Amino acid sequence: MDIKDKNILIIGLGVVGGSYAMALSGAGYKNVYAVNRSESSVKKALEMGIIKGGSTNAEDFAGSADIAVIAVYPTGAEECARNLGRLMKKGSLVTDVLGIKRYYSQKISAVLPDYIDYVPAHPMAGREKRGLDYASADVLKGANFIITPIDRSSSEGIEAVRQLAKDMGFGKIRTLTPDEHDRVIAYTSQLPHALAVSLINSDEEDSNTGDFIGDSFRDLTRIAEINADLWQELFIGNRENLLAAIDMFTAQLSSIRAAVEDMDKESLVKQFEKSSARRQSLIKK
């Protein structure tokens, strides 16, 4: 059976789950279904034509699903997987969109029966807002996609998840272990959010800063308008890796502070040149 003819069930119609539904339907997937706690979001998705059917009850669609995508907050993923494990058929596939992997992949795997394949994944795309109203297939186009297989993940399941990502328009598709993923993501995703929040909150609240900001401030603080409930889960769930990333950043900031305090022009120039070269190298990859 062509993957586009399979029954795809998305659990959660938030920004990522809704964007998946839009992208898959737009790519010619004929049988995209969704389960969501809010009936209004299900109705809206049906009206938009991005799902073929929807419900607030997983029992309505999980039994016939070939592939299920867990697109809920991390702390709700285990219970979601437990329900899918009870309902889905032998040979079906479960994947997810969780932003941290090691801890939650273990939790999900533990409640899924062996006859259900499981391939964790992380789409590196999203928005600061929450809910279906802010979903968009465009946010996935060209974005990075990380597959984090575990021992039980089959080669067929990994390829199916890779194909889903390709069809949705993701750019670079990489494979990492859950541990590698969590170390990298602490630096490339969680640390930038921590910096943006800290930068915004370091200003005096009664100042008129808004009258004087430029593009650099806007770019640096865009993600400070953060989904608080989701990101506190991600920060705490990847605590050790994030703390290490914060410590490395703090050391670099302290080096700049020391150079400014000592009026060490040569040190500042070296640090600026190093950062420029490293960014150019990273963006080219």
Distances (CA, A) of 103 to 69, 179, 221: 18, 9, 29
The SS3 of residue 216 is helix
CA pair distance 175, 144, nearest whole angstrom: 11
CA pair distance 259, 189, nearest whole angstrom: 28
Could you state, in order of their start, the residue ranges of all structural domains in the chain?
Answer: 3-176, 180-284
Here the tokens at position 67 are 């592939």
For the cut 80, the answer to whether the pLDDT of residue 50 exceeds it is yes
CA pair distance 118, 241, nearest whole angstrom: 24
pLDDT tens readout for residues 182-197: 999 999 999 999 999 9
CA pair distance 165, 123, nearest whole angstrom: 8
Percent residues over pLDDT 90 in the chain: 84
CA pair distance 91, 132, nearest whole angstrom: 30
More confident residue, 232 or 205: 232
Predicted confidence at residue 1, as pLDDT, reads 79
pLDDT tens readout for residues 83-141: 999 999 999 999 999 999 999 999 999 999 999 999 999 999 866 667 888 889 999 99
242, 191 Cβ separation under 8 angstroms: yes
pLDDT tens readout for residues 65-85: 999 999 999 999 999 999 999
Q: Is 74 exposed, middle or buried (0-12, 13-18, 19+ CB in 10 A)?
A: buried
Quick count: other Cβ atoms within 10 Å of Cβ 40?
10
How many helices, marked H, and strands, marked E, lie in the chain? 11, 9
- CA 6 vs. chain centroid, Å, equals 24
Please state the CATH superfamily assignment of the domain spanning residues 3-176 in this structure.
Answer: NAD(P)-binding Rossmann-like Domain (3.40.50.720)
- CATH architecture group of domain 180-284: Orthogonal Bundle (1.10)
233, 75 Cβ separation under 8 angstroms: yes
pLDDT tier, 165 (very low <50, low <70, confident <90, very high otherwise): very high
CA pair distance 85, 79, nearest whole angstrom: 10
